[in-house]
Amino acid sequence: LFFPFLTIQFLLDGLEWVDKKFGTSIIDGIEKKFQKVLGEDCMARHPMAYYEAEEDDVLLAAWHLTGWYIGTMFPDSDAWIASGQQTASYSEPEQDKMYNFYLRSIQKVLYRRGEGRELLSKSHLIEFMFIIEKNIPNAKFIGTVRNPKDTFVSWYALAQAASKAYKLK
């Protein structure tokens, strides 16, 4: 594929166009199959749907295999720690490259998926917030804290689903 991002987006646009002609039953069916792979427990804690807002961290983590998703394919705890500490582990030019990649990815999503689509800017990439703050000085950040016991169960369910999807379990 010459332009993989655009090719996939055009494919999805075409699928959406056909799907809307049939009352969204095609994407519903595809979605149910993907959700079955993840399991009911994971979907209860991490609801995801095609026609809902897209998450910026999922774009980077799942599509580009960065963040904790790479841990399912490259299980090295030292590498995990380093990749999670962007401001400590990477030089200023490397941080700028990460930010530019993030910015361009988000711009592509907003451009291609426009027409009233939303981008849910929610991130587990806490260290990355410092890089965003440096590049967008008037950015506002909201932090939420969940009960640690609920968080552990939630992440464990998601990790189980990811390892099952990647056939690591």
**Are 99 and 135 within 8 A, CB to CB?**
yes
Which residues partner with 119 through β-bridges? 54
pLDDT tens-place string over residues 113-150? 666 666 656 666 677 788 888 888 887 777 777 777 77
Ranking 6-15, 17-26, 54-63, 141-150 by mean pLDDT, the lowest is: 54-63
| pLDDT confidence of residue 61 | 57
The predicted pLDDT at position 62 comes to: 56
> Which whole number is the average pLDDT over 13-21?
90
Give me the pLDDT at residue 117, please.
Answer: 62
Confidence of residue 81 (pLDDT cuts 50, 70, 90): confident
C-alpha dihedral (59, 83, 154, 113), degrees to nearest 10: -10
Do residues 105 and 60 lie in contact, with contact meaning Cβ atoms separated by under 8 Å? yes
Cα(165)–Cα(169) distance, rounded to whole angstroms?
Answer: 9
Q: What angle do CA 88, 89, 95 make, to 5 degrees?
A: 90
Q: What is the pLDDT of residues 28-49, one digit of tens each?
A: 998 888 888 877 777 777 777 7
Whole-angstrom distance, CA of residue 95 vs CA of residue 130: 10
Is residue 125 within 8 Å of 133, Cβ to Cβ? no
Given a cut of 70, whether residue 27 has pLDDT beyond it is yes
- For the chain, give the mean pLDDT: 74
Question: pLDDT by residue (tens digit) across 55-64?
Answer: 655 555 555 5
Burial class from Cβ neighbours inside 10 Å (0-12, 13-18, 19+) for residue 129 reads: middle
- Residue scoring higher pLDDT (148 or 75): 148
Tell me how far apart the alpha carbons of residues 146 and 149 are, in angstroms, rounded to a whole number: 8
- Whether the CB-CB separation of 157 and 63 falls below 8 Å is answered with no
pTM, entire model? 0.55
Percentage of the chain with pLDDT > 70?
Answer: 69
